Structure 1
Amino acid sequence: LGRDKDIEEIISSHLKGLGYKKISKIFNILRDTIGSIISKFKTYGTAANLPGRGRKPTISSRALSNLVRTAKKTPRVTTRQLQDDLMKAGTSASVATIRRALNKEGLHGRTQGRSWGPRCRLYLWALFEIV
């Protein structure tokens, strides 16, 4: 049996009037676990995982959509600049968090663009002078 089926069976056997020890022996699960499942059922009316578990996101969905829009509009913007924009909006998040969020949205490589080096500039100058 799967976990959900087990929990349903545990609750139904409790409602039938079986004690914790008997339920524990039937399902080969610790008595404390049986007790916690049943107490959760009594408290919330269900033994399913309740919403709101886990860490809350630091960047709201609205702020994330603003970041994505800004990053798509100006592809050369750096994550540090995006962080400053986010701070002005009232949300604080690290550069790594912003980069991770943008990567999930399919945007990669928020680094400052490199300027032309002296060697490359010389090459380009020579190329265009010849033509």
Structure 2
Amino acid sequence: MQTASTNIGERMGRSQELSDSKRGPVIGGHLCNKSIRDISWLLNIPRSTVSGIITKWKQLGTTATQPPSGRPRHMTERGQRMLKRTVRRSLQQSANCLQSQ
């Protein structure tokens, strides 16, 4: 029998992602009409995590990790620098020519 841990830090760190092998039983427990608290206690994961997995599954139909929305920040800054450099080097070229490079 598992014992519930009182320290959330021992169970799962903030930056860790829950594995697929733990997400499946969360949905299985939900389909068996178990409460979020019961699922959390049985699997030894935080209630907020269980709730998030169930909500995501209801909205998207999947528990797989989705890529972040929007453009990555480092690409934006790098792209802007490259564009400025290209424009400075060739002021006489048209916008279509610059865009194709």
What TM-score range do you get, normalising by the shorter chain?
0.5 to 0.7
CA shift digits 1:57-108 (9 cap, x unpaired):
3478xxxxxxxxxxxxxxxxxxx8x932598625xxxxxxxxxxxxxxxxxx
- 2:37 maps to what in 1? 21
Q: Percent identity?
A: 29
User: Larger C-alpha radius of gyration, 1 or 2?
Assistant: 1
- 1:9 maps to what in 2? 25
Where 1:37 maps in the other structure, the secondary structure is: helix
- 2:50 maps to what in 1? 34
Where 1:29 maps in the other structure, the secondary structure is: coil
TM-score, normalising length: structure 1: 0.43
Where 2:67 maps in the other structure, the secondary structure is: coil
- 1:49 maps to what in 2? 65
Which runs of 5 or more residues in structure 2 are unaligned? 1-17
Distance 1:49 1:4 in 2: 9
Distance 2:50 2:43 in 1: 9
Distance 2:50 2:35 in 1: 10
- Using the TM superposition, give the Cα deviation of residue 33 of structure 1 relative to its aligned residue in structure 2, in angstroms: 1.1
**How is 1:1-131 mapped onto 2 (pairs within 5 angstroms)?**
3-53=19-69, 55=72, 57-58=75-76, 83-84=85-86, 89-90=98-99
How many residue pairs get matched? 70
> Relative contact order (alpha carbons < 8 A, sep ≥ 6): 1 or 2 greater?
2
TM-score, normalising length: structure 2: 0.54
Backbone CA RMSD of aligned residues: 3.2
Which runs of 5 or more residues in structure 1 are unaligned? 61-79, 91-131
